[in-house]
Structure 1
């Protein structure tokens, strides 16, 4: 096979298929089963039938911050701030949209009352100091940040529907969207099927929405995200592998955390930073199957699922999904994939 380029991960998507709002029920989504020899159109409620007793389901329990804040420079001029991560007690890294670059030492007035100091620049982000505890301030005054392809502002129902039902560790800029399909009833049915559920935490950064812009994939610089893997999760993975069960990642974020922490003996316990860029040819060590949503053209996540299930297989599946009117992206439908083990 010739070396893959950016063009190999492009596709045309009708605008009407980009889901702009969640369905009335979390578990009402469709599920494209691309894990077998032929594509099957199913429902997310069919997921338990795809699982086997002894399998392990790994969920990302990160919670979306109220990371978007509006305001102005102290000298005038509107700004929009999107917090990327909390650095310390009252300091954050953030994207800032403004008419001109911000100077170190300048001040912003956000949401009409927050006096914020610009401490400097770190790559694409500004280092900001908030007037109080960063997380408390953001949660009290900020707004839920919906993805750029959702052409509306967040409304009240998004406060629950753009969070998973098991979200508990606040720190993401975007939801781990494969988990949005689960309600308590579906989780109970998974457990009743003899499948254990464990958690990792990976805080999703805004870079997840950024397309790759270099034609040669190796020239792309991946964004960094924080993750945590507990000893209980690592032990459950080791036990699952030992008994011949499958490790099933719910979402590319769970997969990224697990493969970033992979060792010869399982997964490493603790916190870490990952800039892992998974493209075709990557050797997966932990994850055997993947539940995921549909991903943006030319995105690192489309490359990831192509590495996992096969480039041709993903192209065929996406073509089928478009023809059958599946809903795409964060509030869209899901896919079931198994790891390709042969060329």
Structure 2
């Protein structure tokens, strides 16, 4: 028995929750994975997992073994990386999760520069706005916008994005132009963003030196994915708040009109996160540094295909706490 491989297989089963998913993540046949776990249990003379047709649960012995095995594997990966970091060129598969809007609008158009710098890295990019379990899905890292809710993850802030309120010209011709955020609640419709279907809507937040206003508004459609959210706005289904990197091209082409530019919205921070028990390998490190370099150019510079830049209003520069 290859005990090290068996330990890695056991850790992956615990994190994935099923043998089928763990085998997919390890890219090995399920029978091979099952045999590795059986050999490990026989070697340890302990039952590590309880198996049902739908789920795998960890026994008390399995939970104790998982904690120590996971820590040991992490230290081993760190040791290997420390010996090769200086001389090795970053290589291998890099699994990253990111929102589809950010990836399509910002990251993917610039990836040619990343791959020119690091040609031996294969990027597996998952596009989704849904929260993901980084450990269970065997992700190296993820890009997250907004405040972080999972405090167990290690995070590095790599930039921020500004929001702008927009609507399609067809919508404004039918419903009029709001002149104050409160107007959105009186006779207007919004395109609502709901991070998870069934959860609360994200409000539109406006502020100036005198007040801060949260607007929910009446909606005819809510979405939980950025590109669909933009499409609904372009279809004239309501007023929406977009990151500037998504709004610049439609505004420059006349498909969206900017609104309420005298009001500011607080920038949303951008973080790259990774599990605390996952060693920050060389390939992850260089990807994080590249993203920080890309986003460090500022929210208005993230989209380069448009000459549109929303004006900055000096009275909004200093916002009340």
Sort the TM-score into its range (normalised by shorter chain).
Answer: under 0.3
**Greater helix fraction, Structure 1 or Structure 2:** 2
TM-score by length of 1: 0.27
Which has the larger Rg? 2
TM-score by length of 2: 0.28
Q: Which has the higher contact order (CA 8 A, sep 6+)?
A: 1
